[in-house]
C-alpha cells in the first residue's frame, strides 16, 4: 500500500513534470522518485505517466487521479485539526526566517508546543520571498516572513505578529577609524550589507535613503546572525533588525546607535493560505501576545 509520502510525491511530479524537479522539492533523488512512482502504479494496477527522455506527463488515468489524491491528502491533513478537547496534534510544516527564531516568534512557538504536546512542528529556514511561493503551492502550511513589499496573490493571507526597528550597529573595537556621528559612520565606515535582493535588504536601502547616506559596501550577506558577528569582530558597521533575543545592551563587542529621522520598522508576520487544514496552529500563533522590541537607548 502506497504511503502519504508517495501521494505527495505524485502531486509534485504532476505539477513539475519531471522526477528530478519533484525530487528536489521532496528531498529525494530523481531515481528514488521514479521507483516511488512505479511502486504507486503497481499498487493501483495502472500506469499514471507517459515517460519521455527529459520529462514525464500524466496520462488520462494520472490526470483523473489528481483531484482524488488532493482530496485524500486534504482529509489526512485535517487530522491535525483540534480534537474534542481543543488540543492540536499531527505535524505542521512551517517556514521561518532564522532571525525570527531569535525573536518573538520563538516564544510563541514554545507556548503553542507547551499547550499542545501532541503537535509536531517541522521548521524550514530560508528567505521570505521563497516561502511565499512554497506556502502558495501547499508545500508549507505557513511561514514567518517579513511584510511583502508588494501585494499578495489571491488566496494568501499575511498577519502581522510584531515589528523590529532597523538599527545601526557598530563595533566597540573597530579595525578602522570610527566617526563620532551616526551619519558619518554610515558614509565613511566599511558597510556590511544585508543581501539587497531580499525584503530585509530593501529595508536597509530605505534607511540609507532616509539618512541621505551613500554606504561604502565591504561585503554582502543574507544572514543577520553572520552580519552581527562580523561587526563584533570589528570589520565594519551594518544596519540590521533589532532582534528580540539578542542582548544588545549587554554586548561588550558592539553598540547600537540611533538614526535620527530614519525610523524604519521590519514587520514580521505569518503568511498562510486563506483556507487550509492547519488553521488551528496558525490561529494559536496569532493569539500569542507578542511584546514590542525596545528601541535603542
Residue pair 211/200 in contact by the 8 Å Cβ criterion: no
How many Cα atoms within 13 Å fall on the side-chain side of residue 2? 21
Mean pLDDT of all residues belonging to the chain: 86
Would you place residue 232 in the very low, low, confident or very high pLDDT band (cuts 50, 70, 90)? Answer: very high
Would you place residue 292 in the very low, low, confident or very high pLDDT band (cuts 50, 70, 90)? Answer: low
Q: Which pLDDT value is given to residue 191?
A: 97
The pLDDT of 147-175, averaged and rounded, is 90
3-class state of residue 190 by DSSP: strand
233 vs 245, residue with greater confidence: 233
Check whether 272 has a pLDDT greater than 90: yes
3-class state of residue 173 by DSSP: coil
Would you place residue 80 in the very low, low, confident or very high pLDDT band (cuts 50, 70, 90)? Answer: low
The pLDDT of 149-163, averaged and rounded, is 87
Distance CA 37, CA 248 (A): 52
Would you place residue 23 in the very low, low, confident or very high pLDDT band (cuts 50, 70, 90)? Answer: confident
Query: Long-range contacts: 45-50, Cβ < 8 Å, 24+?
Result: 48/10, 49/13
Residue pair 192/235 in contact by the 8 Å Cβ criterion: yes
Q: Which pLDDT value is given to residue 202?
A: 93
Taken in order of first residue, the domains within the chain and their CATH numbers are 4-79 (1.10.10.10), 81-162+267-287 (3.40.190.10), 164-266 (3.40.190.10)
Cell 500569542 sits on residue: 288
Check whether 84 has a pLDDT greater than 60: no
Kindly report, residue by residue over 243-264, the tens digit of the pLDDT. Answer: 877 888 889 999 998 787 788 9
Would you place residue 2 in the very low, low, confident or very high pLDDT band (cuts 50, 70, 90)? Answer: low
Q: Which pLDDT value is given to residue 1?
A: 54
Amino acid at each position: 500500500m502506497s504511503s502519504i509520502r508517495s501521494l505527495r510525491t505524485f502531486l509534485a511530479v504532476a505539477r513539475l513534470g519531471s522526477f528530478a524537479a519533484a525530487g528536489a522539492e521532496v528531498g529525494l533523488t530523481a531515481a528514488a522518485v521514479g521507483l516511488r512512482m512505479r511502486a504507486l502504479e503497481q499498487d493501483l494496477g495502472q500506469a499514471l505517466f507517459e515517460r519521455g527522455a527529459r520529462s514525464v506527463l500524466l496520462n488520462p488515468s494520472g490526470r483523473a487521479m489528481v483531484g482524488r489524491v488532493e482530496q485524500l491528502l486534504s482529509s489526512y491533513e485535517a487530522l491535525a485539526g483540534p480534537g474534542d478537547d481543543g488540543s492540536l496534534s499531527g505535524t505542521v510544516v512551517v517556514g521561518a526566517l532564522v532571525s525570527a527564531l531569535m525573536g518573538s516568534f520563538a516564544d510563541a512557538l514554545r507556548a503553542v508546543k507547551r499547550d499542545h504536546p501532541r503537535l509536531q512542528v517541522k521548521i524550514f529556514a530560508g528567505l521570505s520571498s521563497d516561502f511565499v511561493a512554497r506556502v502558495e503551492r501547499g508545500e508549507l502550511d505557513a511561514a514567518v516572513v517579513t511584510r511583502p513589499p508588494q501585494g499578495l496573490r489571491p488566496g494568501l493571507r499575511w498577519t502581522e505578529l510584531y515589528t523590529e526597528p532597523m538599527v545601526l550597529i557598530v563595533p566597540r573595537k573597530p579595525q578602522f577609524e570610527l566617526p563620532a556621528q551616526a551619519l558619518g559612520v554610515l558614509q565613511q565606515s566599511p558597510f556590511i550589507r544585508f543581501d539587497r535582493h531580499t525584503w530585509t535588504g530593501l529595508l536597509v536601502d530605505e534607511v540609507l535613503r532616509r539618512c541621505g547616506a551613500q554606504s561604502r559596501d565591504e561585503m554582502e550577506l543574507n544572514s543577520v546572525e553572520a552580519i552581527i558577528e562580523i561587526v563584533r569582530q570589528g570589520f565594519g558597521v551594518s544596519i540590521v533588525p533589532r532582534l528580540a533575543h539578542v542582548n544588545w545592551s549587554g554586548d561588550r563587542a558592539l553598540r547600537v546607535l540611533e538614526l535620527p529621522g530614519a525610523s524604519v520598522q521590519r514587520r514580521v508576520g505569518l503568511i498562510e493560505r486563506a483556507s487550509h487544514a492547519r488553521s488551528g496552529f496558525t490561529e494559536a500563533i496569532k493569539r500569542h501576545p507578542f511584546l514590542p522590541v525596545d528601541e535603542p537607548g
